[in-house]
Structure 1
C-alpha cells in the first residue's frame, strides 16, 4: 500500500524534504505552494511526484502532511486544518524554527482528534527558494521533533520511519527545550551578528576604511546577519522570552569583560581567551543548529593558476563545489582559499585530496 505525503510550502526546506522523501519506498509525494511560479518550478524539476493546486482536496487522501512554511503561515494553516476532511490517522508536522506557539495550536488540533508532531530540521543554505532545494540538505543535521506530552509511540515511530530518508539525526525534545536551545546557539547569535554589523555601520563617517578591513574575519563572523530579515523578525518575536534571558546573560558577560579591561591584569585576560579557545575547540564540527556550509579552508601559495590547480584536483575526484572565495584580509592567516562543499563527506574527501596531491594545508574553521 502506497504511503502518501503532502508537503505544503515548497521553498528551500519544504522542497528539500520532498526530494529526500522520494527515496522512501512505496511513497508518493504531493506538493503545494501558494506561489504559482514555485509550483511550476517544482513540477519541472520534479521536486515532488505530483504538484496539486488544492491542498484541502489533496489532504483528504494523504497519510502525512508536512508544512514547509514559516511559523506564522503554519499557524494559519493549522487553523484551517480544523475544518478539513482529513484521514482518520493522518500525522501532521511542520519545519518551523520556533515551537512554543506551534505546539499550543497543536493542542487545539489534538482536542479534535488530529495528531500533530512539531518538527524542525536544523539545516539551511545561503540560498533560498525551490530552485535551491537539495535532497541531501539535511544529511547529518539534527532534526528535532517536539511531540505533545503523551503522544502515542506508534505515531512517533511512523513519522521517524519516514524522516530517516532525510539522513538527519532525529531527536525528540519538548517545545520549551527546543526554543531554549535554539535561542542559545542560533537565534541569539543572529541578534549578535546583526548588532556587530550595526556597530560597523557607525564607523562609516569617521573611519571609512574600517569597512574595507571587514572583508576577512569580520565578514565570516557576521555571515548570518545576511539572513532574511522578515524570517528573523518573526523568529525574534516568537522566541523573545528566551532571547531576553540570553541578552541579560550577554550583558553580564560584557560587564565581566569590561571589568577585566579596567583592571588590566594580563594573566586574567589571557585566561579569559584561553578558556574560550578551549571551549570553542571542543565544539563538534558536524552540522548543528545554524546553517553549515561545509567550508574547507586551504592555505595556498601566491602564484598564477593556483586556484585552477586546486579546483582541477577536486574535479578529478568528482567532488562538487558549491561556492568558492578568497579571504582578502584576515588578521592571522593570509592566502586563504575557502571552498564550500555539499556535505561533510565531500569536505573530508576534498581535504584528503588537496593535502595528498598538492601538499597544501587544509583546516576547518
Structure 2
C-alpha cells in the first residue's frame, strides 16, 4: 500500500508500529511528529521514519493514515484540533490508547465530518521505553484491539488491518464499552492491586527491615507491573474511572469474604476459595493477553567470574534477544540461579535449547 502515514508520538509503540508498516508496505512514506526533536532525529537516523514533520496542524492534510501514539487525554485534545483542519476524505485516524469509551465519544467530531476514526489498542509493551527500544515484532502474536464507531463501514476496518498486517498481531474487534470492561478487569485492576500491595509492603518493611531482603524473587515478580509508568497509569485510571471503581468495589467484597473465612477458620470454605482459583487459573490460555507476558528462563549457573557474559554470549551466537536478566542467588562453590527474560515464548524455548547445548547448564521455566 502507498500513502503518507503520520505517527504522532514516536516512542516505543509509535516507533514499533512505524517499523512494522515499513516492513509490510515499503512504498509507504512515514512522517513522525513528537514533542522531542531529538526523538525524531533518532527515528530518522535509524530509518524508523522517512521524514520529520513540523506539526500536526501543518502535516495532517497530507495523511492517508494518522496514528496517535500518545496518552489518551493528549489524544483527545489533538482530535479536537484535527477536526478543524482540511483532511483527505479517505483518511483513517486511529490511536493506541489503553481506554476507548471516552476517546470514541471525543472522536465523534471527526465522524460527523465523514472522517474515519477507529479506536486501536495494541496489547504489548516492554520494560524499555522510547524510540530506541522500538522493534518491528513487538506486537507479534499479541492482541491488537479495534473499536470502530457503530456506523463505521467494515471495509474501513479491513483497510486499517491491511495497513497493520506487518505487526503480525491478532486482530479483534470490540465495542468501546466491552473493551474498557475487559481491560479494566484484566489489566487496570491488577495494576492498582499490585501498586497497593507494594505500598503496603513498603510500610511493613519499616517495621520489619528483614522483609526488604526477603521480598526478592517471587514477591518481586508477582508485583512487577507496579513498576509501570505512574503518569500513564494515572491517565488510564481516570479515563476508565467508572469501570475501575466498580471492579475495585467487587475486589474489596472478595477480600472481605476472604477475611471472614480466615477469621472464622472455615477450613473447607478456604480450601474451595484457593482450589477454585487454581482450577480456573490453570485453564487460562498461555498466549499473550491483556498484560504483557514475562517469558522467564531460569538457569543454574556456577559462581565464577564471567559466567553471565558466557551465557549471554551463547544467546548472541544464536541471535536470541533478551529483555532482562538478574541473579537470584549465588554462593561460593555452589550453583546460583540466573533469571533471563525474553520477549516471546519462542525466544525462551530456543534459549533453553541453546544454553543447554552450549554449556550443559540446567535450564527450566514455568508455564
TM-score, normalised to structure 2, is 0.92
Q: Which residue of 2 aligns with 1:157?
A: 158
Q: Which residue of 1 aligns with 2:353?
A: 352
Asked if structure 1 preserves the Cα contact closer than 8 Å seen for 2:60 and 2:82, the reply is no
- The alignment partner of 1:212 has SS state of helix
Q: Which residue of 2 aligns with 1:91?
A: 92
Partners of 2:329 and 2:214 lie apart in 1 by 9
- The alignment partner of 2:253 has SS state of helix
What is the 5 A alignment of 1:1-365?
2-25=2-25, 26-293=27-294, 295-300=295-300, 302-304=302-304, 307-328=308-329, 335-355=336-356, 358=360, 360-364=362-366
- The alignment partner of 1:204 has SS state of helix
Report the alpha carbon displacement of residue 62 of structure 1 after superposing the two structures with TM: 1.9
Q: Deviations over 1:113-169 (max 9, x none)?
A: 111000000111112111221111111111000000021011111101111111111
Structure 2 alignment gaps of length 5 or more = none
Report the alpha carbon displacement of residue 254 of structure 1 after superposing the two structures with TM: 0.8
Report the alpha carbon displacement of residue 319 of structure 1 after superposing the two structures with TM: 1.5
Partners of 2:362 and 2:238 lie apart in 1 by 46
Report the alpha carbon displacement of residue 350 of structure 1 after superposing the two structures with TM: 1.4
- The alignment partner of 2:5 has SS state of strand
Asked if structure 2 preserves the Cα contact closer than 8 Å seen for 1:215 and 1:328, the reply is no
Report the alpha carbon displacement of residue 170 of structure 1 after superposing the two structures with TM: 1.0
* Comparing 205-214 and 182-191, the one that deviates more: 205-214
- The alignment partner of 1:203 has SS state of helix
Partners of 1:262 and 1:342 lie apart in 2 by 42
Partners of 1:52 and 1:42 lie apart in 2 by 12
- The alignment partner of 1:134 has SS state of coil
Partners of 1:314 and 1:24 lie apart in 2 by 28
* Comparing 197-206 and 181-190, the one that deviates more: 197-206
Partners of 2:353 and 2:279 lie apart in 1 by 26
- Shift in CA distance, 246/162, structure 1 to aligned 2, threshold 3 Å: same
Asked if structure 1 preserves the Cα contact closer than 8 Å seen for 2:187 and 2:290, the reply is yes
Report the alpha carbon displacement of residue 335 of structure 1 after superposing the two structures with TM: 4.4
Asked if structure 1 preserves the Cα contact closer than 8 Å seen for 2:303 and 2:336, the reply is no
- The alignment partner of 2:16 has SS state of helix
Aligned length: 360
Asked if structure 1 preserves the Cα contact closer than 8 Å seen for 2:31 and 2:51, the reply is yes
Report the alpha carbon displacement of residue 356 of structure 1 after superposing the two structures with TM: 5.2
Partners of 2:271 and 2:91 lie apart in 1 by 57
Partners of 2:234 and 2:218 lie apart in 1 by 26
Partners of 1:56 and 1:22 lie apart in 2 by 24
Q: Deviations over 1:183-222 (max 9, x none)?
A: 0111111100110011012113321111111111111111
- Shift in CA distance, 129/299, structure 1 to aligned 2, threshold 3 Å: closer
Report the alpha carbon displacement of residue 263 of structure 1 after superposing the two structures with TM: 2.6
Report the alpha carbon displacement of residue 80 of structure 1 after superposing the two structures with TM: 0.5
Partners of 1:326 and 1:282 lie apart in 2 by 31
TM-score, normalised to structure 1, is 0.92
* Comparing 193-202 and 127-136, the one that deviates more: 127-136
Structure 1 alignment gaps of length 5 or more = none
Partners of 1:140 and 1:351 lie apart in 2 by 20
* Comparing 223-232 and 318-327, the one that deviates more: 318-327
Report the alpha carbon displacement of residue 299 of structure 1 after superposing the two structures with TM: 4.6
* Comparing 146-155 and 257-266, the one that deviates more: 257-266
